[in-house]
Copies of this chain bind each other. A is one copy, B any other.
Amino acid sequence: MNELFDRDILSGEQFTLDEIQTVMGVAHDMRRRVAHGTHLDNCHGKVLASLFFEPSTRTRLSFETAMLRLGGQVIGFSSAESTSVSKGETLSDTIQMADQFANVIAMRHPRVGSAHEAAAVAVRPVINGGDGIGQHPTQALLDLFTLQQELGDFDGRTIALVGDLRHGRTVHSAVEIYKHFNCRLILVSPEQLMLQRPMVESLHKSGVAVTETTDLESALSASDAVYMTRIQKERFADPSEYEKVKGCYVLNRELIMRTNSRIVVLHPLPRVDEISTDVDDLPGAAYFRQAQNGVYVRMALIAMVLGKA
Contacts and interface: CB of A to CB of B under 8 A. Distances in A.
A68 B55 contact: no
Given A75-B68, A271-B93, A84 B57 contact: yes
B92 A277 contact: yes
Contacts of A277: 92
A247 interface: no
Contacts of A61: 49, 75-77, 97-98, 101
Given A97-B269, A272-B87, A65 B39 contact: no
A45 B37 contact: yes
Contact of A47 (B69, B81, B83, B288): B69
A88 interface: yes
A101 B272 contact: no
Nearest to A65: B101
A148 interface: no
Contact of A270 (B79, B87, B291): B87
A167 to B, nearest CB: 14
A111 interface: no
Contacts of A79: 81-82
A271 B89 CA distance: 6
Contacts of A92: 277
B47 A39 contact: no
Contact of A84 (B56, B83, B85, B289): B56
14 contacts: A37-B45, A45-B69, A47-B69, A52-B82, A56-B83, A57-B84, A61-B76, A65-B101, A68-B75, A78-B82, A88-B272, A89-B272, A93-B269, A96-B288
Given A47-B69, A97-B288, 18 more contacts: A39-B44, A45-B69, A47-B65, A52-B82, A55-B82, A55-B83, A57-B84, A61-B77, A61-B97, A78-B82, A84-B270, A87-B270, A88-B270, A88-B272, A93-B269, A93-B270, A96-B288, A100-B295
